[in-house]
Structure 1
Amino acid sequence: MPCTFNHTIVAARDRSESAAFFRHVFEAAEAPSWGPFTNLMLDGGVLIQFADLPTDVFPEIQNQHYAFLVDDDLFDRAHARLVDGGVEHWADPQQQRPGEINHGHGGRGVYFRDPAGHFLEMITSPYV
């Protein structure tokens, strides 16, 4: 069997809020949740698990970067939801082009943050 990506755990302060944000923006499917996780399923069977970090042990969440490859139709719908929801977004990871998208790598892309502060990227064309 070749190596494939199966799941990741995303740190949150409110796992339900973070999962709802991802579900809303990316149209991710709900998945059965258990224990400390609120789960979503992406195409290809990739599971995203949101878990609350206790503030007494982790006063700050170490922000991570997560990039999502989407088709043009989902990009249009998701970008519209970001704009309509007043979510800050940028064309570049340095946050120098606010309110814009980029046209790099033969597609379109945008950067924004989730409720926990993680830096998300949505692209329509893979880098390689």
Structure 2
Amino acid sequence: MPARLDHTIVHCRDRFAAARFLTELIDAPEPKPFGPFASVPLANGVTLDYLDEQAESEIVSQHLAFLVSDEEFDEILGRIKERELLYWADPMHAEPQQINHHFGGRGVYVDDPDGHSLEFITHTYV
């Protein structure tokens, strides 16, 4: 059996603020404390564990892509616009305030407060 991703750690300045940024966009339950983490379980069994970084440490940006339904995409994009967040159709931030239509789906990128790139797509690229 191939390995399955169980969880990953997302480094941030404020674990609950960073986790809430995501959960509010995707309309997920409040992050739960788990040891030093703010944990966000996702529908496919993967958990994102947000961890506070030391103040002097640099946070290396990660890219997290979420496969969502068309209805969820509309809701997420609506929340992005409602919050007046910057968003892009591409990971290089060359197409601001636009979405893409790759592989017959739709996609959008938004940066979280720590500079992590969150991508929401309605059709997998594979």
Scaled to the shorter chain, the TM-score interval is: over 0.9
Gaps of at least 5 residues in structure 1 are none
Matched, 1:120 2:93: no
TM-score by length of 1: 0.92
Deviation at 1:30, TM superposition (A): 4.1
- Conserved 8 A contact 1:7-1:48: yes
Runs of 4+ in 1 over 6 A off after TM superposition: none
The answer to whether the Cα contact below 8 Å between 1:29 and 1:42 also exists between their aligned partners in 2 is no
Equivalent residue for 2:87, pick from 86, 89, 100: 89
Distance 1:19 1:125 in 2: 24
| Cα deviation 1:31-87 (Å, max 9, x = unaligned) | 64222100011002111100000113x1x2111111111110110000000001011
Q: Deviations over 1:9-47 (max 9, x none)?
A: 101101111111110011233464222100011002111
Q: Which residue of 2 aligns with 1:106?
A: 104
The equivalences for 1:1-128 within 5 A come to 1-30=1-30, 32-56=32-56, 58=57, 60-128=58-126
Question: Letter of the aligned partner of 1:23 in structure 2?
Answer: T
One-letter code aligned to 1:11: H
Consecutive unaligned residues in structure 2, runs of 5 or more: none
* Distance in 2 (alpha carbons) for counterparts of 1:41 and 1:73: 20
Q: Distance in 2 between matches of 1:82 and 1:31?
A: 19
RMSD of equivalent CA atoms: 1.3
Q: Distance in 1 between matches of 2:13 and 2:120?
A: 22
Q: Secondary structure at the match of 1:81?
A: helix
Cα displacement string for residues 83-106 of structure 1 (whole angstroms, at most 9, x for unaligned residues): 010110001112111111011111
Q: Distance in 2 between matches of 1:125 and 1:44?
A: 16
